Amino acid sequence: MSAAPHLVIAAGGTGGHMFPAQALAEAMLERGWRVTLTTDARGARYTGGFPSAVTIREMPSATFARGGALAKALVPFRLAAGLLTALGRFLSDRPTVVAGFGGYPSIPALGAAWALRIPRMIHEQNGVLGRVNEVFAPRVDRVACGTWPTALPSGVVGARTGNPVRSAVLDRAGAPYPGLDGDLGILVMGGSQGARILSEIVPEAITRLPSSIRDRLAVSHQARAEDEARVREHYEAAGIRATVRPFFDDVPKRLAEAALVVSRAGASSVADISVVGRPSILIPFAAATADHQTANARGLAEAGGALLIQESELDPASLSEHMLAILTTPATADRMRQGALSHGMPDATDRLVSLVEELGGKGTP
């Protein structure tokens, strides 16, 4: 009997890297693979959702992005120590495939896989490669792209996989559109942290809608905790039905009930909106590294699913006009919904699994 094939997943830092990693870990376990996750202390905050069968190895954090001068000076040594540890582990227990999801903890694992010629891949969630993925893109067998299109170095060919979405989102993939005749759900989302600019502009834009629309609205507005009371008061004063919270645990349900979504363009938000299939107005976070949120929004906008508005061009009057045009024109809303669905990748996890199996020589037990 041959031993189970072994996938080492390396991911760090943020939920953005960890959630797709978790989706792949779950799927590979189901296929009989052994799965090890390598991450750092920041990533370790997100490992609670991983199945207990996943072996979790925490490594010392090493990033130039935070910490004092001493911590930064130590980064090369920490990475070298991490690389040696990974080499030692891989020599004694050679993985079948190594998959990096971005962030500094993926450097030692991908570096060791490269040195030992172990089949390896990266998954990039955003439309622009992150720093670590940029270094490894020409040095891996496959570059899986969560966002399509993704800007890649010349000579590197990406595989379109999409970003895995939560099962509660998948349950609502292509959910029937609520239509524009009755209640009008509007979901306002600012990513996992909320977005101040959306709290400053969107309530004002909604208040400017004609009363024939306003009276039928059911707004779900995610606002940062410090903005929550002010946003709620704004809607109350305008007589608009609204639920305001710093974070909605039931976004998949609210997405399905929404006639229109106004959102930042984080990779997972764009994936969720596309998979459920809702018209959206996307306002990329202008300060995101390499303007990656604009890159995240572009494919969905080009598919006709979203209107892309830059922060610098965002004002209540024009936003209100755009919202009105969608909320009063069923043909437009339907075209946008179809565009979003055509862009969505509900099978992103399966596509990642196929890449891993292909790299591992389909070595399922």
Ligand X SMILES: CC(=O)N[C@H]1[C@@H](OP(=O)(O)OP(=O)(O)OC[C@H]2O[C@@H](n3ccc(=O)[nH]c3=O)[C@H](O)[C@@H]2O)O[C@H](CO)[C@@H](O)[C@@H]1O
d(CA 284, CA 294): 5
d(CA 103, CA 124): 10
- Give the other-Cβ count within 10 Å of 171's Cβ: 12
Least distance in Å: CB of 217 to ligand X? Answer: 18
The DSSP secondary-structure symbol of 260 reads E
310 binds ligand X, rule: CB under 6 A: no
Tell me whether residue 16 is annotated as binding: yes
The correct pick among 23, 217, 219, 267 for binding ligand X (CB under 6 A) is: 267
- For the chain, the first-to-last Cα distance in angstroms comes to 8
Query: Quick one: which segment of 38-46, 50-58, 233-241, 260-268 binds ligand X (CB under 6 A)?
Result: 260-268
The correct pick among 61, 63, 222, 320 for binding ligand X (CB under 6 A) is: 222
Closest to ligand X by CB, 39 vs 125, is 125
The correct pick among 261, 272, 340, 341 for binding ligand X (CB under 6 A) is: 272
288 binds ligand X, rule: CB under 6 A: yes
Alpha helices by DSSP H, listed for 139-220, are 167-170, 196-207, 211-214
Nearest Cα residue to 266 out of 295, 228, 245, 225: 295
Q: Distances in Å between the alpha carbon of 34 and those of 31, 49, 106, 244? A: 9, 17, 18, 43
269 binds ligand X, rule: CB under 6 A: yes
Q: Which of residues 75-114 bind ligand X (CB under 6 A)?
A: none
Query: Site size for ligand X, by CB under 6 A?
Result: 23
> Which residue has the closest beta carbon to ligand X?
266
Which positions ≥6 away from 85 have C-beta within 8 Å? 59, 108
Order of strands across the sheet that contains 158-160: 55-58, 34-39, 6-10, 97-100, 120-124, 142-145, 158-160
296 binds ligand X, rule: CB under 6 A: yes
The correct pick among 293, 294, 320, 349 for binding ligand X (CB under 6 A) is: 293
**Per-position b or e across 111-122, b if 16+ CB within 10 A of its CB:** bbbeeeebbbbb
13 binds ligand X, rule: CB under 6 A: no
Q: Which of residues 126-145 bind ligand X (CB under 6 A)?
A: 126
Contact 159, 359 (CB under 8 A): no
Q: Which of residues 157-216 bind ligand X (CB under 6 A)?
A: 189, 191-193
349 binds ligand X, rule: CB under 6 A: no
Which positions ≥6 away from 109 have C-beta within 8 Å? 8, 10, 38, 86, 98, 100
Closest to ligand X by CB, 23 vs 180, is 23
Closest to ligand X by CB, 96 vs 274, is 274
Tell me whether residue 293 is annotated as binding: yes
The correct pick among 266, 279, 305, 344 for binding ligand X (CB under 6 A) is: 266
251 binds ligand X, rule: CB under 6 A: yes
Residues shown for the chain: 365
Tell me whether residue 14 is annotated as binding: yes
d(CA 259, CA 267): 21
- The site for ligand X (CB under 6 A) is made up of 14-16, 125-126, 189, 191-193, 222, 247-248, 251, 266-269, 272, 285, 288, 292-293, 296
- Write out the binding residues: 14-16, 126, 166, 192, 293
- Write out the binding residues for UDP-N-acetyl-alpha-D-glucosamine: 14-16, 126, 166, 192, 293
